Structure 1
Amino acid sequence: MNLTWDKRAREVAYLLNPAFCGEVIRRCIEAYQQTARQSMPFPLIFLILPIVLHKSTRETMPRTARGHMYSWLQENPHIKVGFAQRARNLIQVSKEAQTFLMQFNTLTVDVQAELSVSRRRRPRIPALEQGEVSDCFKKAELLGKWFANAGSSITIYTMWGVKP
């Protein structure tokens, strides 16, 4: 998906805009930081959107992070079908969201290539507290907790059947 904005279908540009995708990524990283008490490894940024934005994957995810990601993937092997292609397709979108977050000083990358988000007070927007958008945000937070407890980036990529 290396298309400039004027070449993208309007629906794709609206749904995969940097502000929304950035918020999904930000919530995932923040949950990772709170759980692991450290910054998130950079390579994981490219797994967030293909997991959270894929509706059937998102709907299959549990409500809480009590279980382990590995166990969930073992119980739901169909989740990995087509994942590698989805991940490839969303690389550019992930990069755009990362750039957006960095422009607003919300995301930093340190010299060890680890990601941190600043703690900022988010305005309460009632429209975002329900429906599919809210579900994406909640699952991004769950994913951040799972990532924090799943091991190294290489281990997580291996669980998903892709290479960094």
Structure 2
Amino acid sequence: MAIAHDIFAETNPAYCASLLGTFVRAYRTRSGSEPDITLCYAALPLALSGDLAPTFGRTNRKTGLLEWLRRSPVIQIRLAARVNGSLDIVTEAIRFGCFSNLLAINTEGRVAPGASPVPKHLKAQLTQETQDIFDNIDRLGHWFALAGSTRTVFNMMGLEL
């Protein structure tokens, strides 16, 4: 039996904007500041990549980016291609997030939570797999914030700005 995989649903701008809202909130909670917009372009494809989902097992908010990468070096294989291949999806998610007030971009190019936060009850209505994706992007928000600068995050992952 063939299993259907709904790429359209996974790349829906509203869904992706909600994920980015979760990422931004987690980053801000950990660091007290907003993430640079470029971090969204790394976080969303990492969270959405089904083949990377098992790498989040046995991790939590305190694990840290470097430890996660050390435990699962497979993450960095074709990571640049994964990020580059999702540029349009992330851009549409950011646009949708700004238009719907989930996100706001400040004059420094940082993404802030918008006036309308991601509803708290949203996650409870989702499948377990989708809830896990929200948990994973929350972890990425904390890990990216703990890592320090945007340049440090990209260097840890072997990416160039």
5+ long unaligned stretches in structure 1: 1-9
Q: CA deviation at 1:59?
A: 1.9
Question: Is 2:157 the partner of 1:160?
Answer: yes
8 Å CA contact retained: 1:27, 1:140: yes
- The CA deviation string for residues 17-64 of structure 1, in whole angstroms up to 9 with x for no partner, is 101111111101110011111111111010012110112322212441
In 1, are the aligned partners of 2:60 and 2:139 still within 8 Å (CA)?
yes
Identity rate of aligned residues, in percent?
A: 24
Give the TM-score taking structure 2 as reference length. Answer: 0.88
| Alpha-carbon distance between aligned partners in 1 of 2:88 and 2:118, rounded to the nearest angstrom | 28
How many positions carry a matched residue from both structures? 154
2:143 is equivalent to residue 146 of structure 1: yes
Residues 102 and 118 in structure 2, CA contact (< 8 A), matched pair in contact too:
no
2:125 matched residue in structure 1? 127
Query: Which one is further off, 64-73 or 16-25?
Result: 64-73
Q: Is the 8 A contact 1:50 1:83 kept in 2?
A: no
State the AA in 1 paired with 2:36.
P
* Aligned residue runs from structure 1 range 12-161, under 5 A: 12-61=7-56, 62-118=58-114, 120=117, 122=119, 124-125=121-122, 126-128=124-126, 130-161=127-158
Contact 2:144 2:153 in 1 (8 A): yes
Q: Is the 8 A contact 1:21 1:94 kept in 2?
A: yes
Q: Alignment partner of 1:124: what SS?
A: coil
CA contact (8 A) 2:105 2:111 kept: yes
Structure 1 residues 78-87 or 56-65, which shifts more?
Answer: 56-65
Q: Quick one: which amino acid aligns to residue 92 of structure 1? A: D
Shift of 1:113: 0.9
Aligned Cα root-mean-square deviation (Å)? 1.8
Cα pair 2:21 2:117 within 8 Å, conserved: no
What CA deviation, in whole Å up to 9, does each residue of 1:50-92 have, x standing for no partner?
Answer: 1101123222124412222112212221111111111011000
Structure 2 distance, partners of 1:107, 1:123, is: 16
Given the superposition, is the C-alpha separation of residues 146 and 123 from structure 1 closer, same or farther in structure 2, using an over 3 Å criterion? Answer: closer
CA distance in 2, matches of 1:137, 1:103: 21
- With over 3 angstroms needed to count, the CA separation of the structure-2 counterparts of 1:121 and 1:70, relative to structure 1, is closer
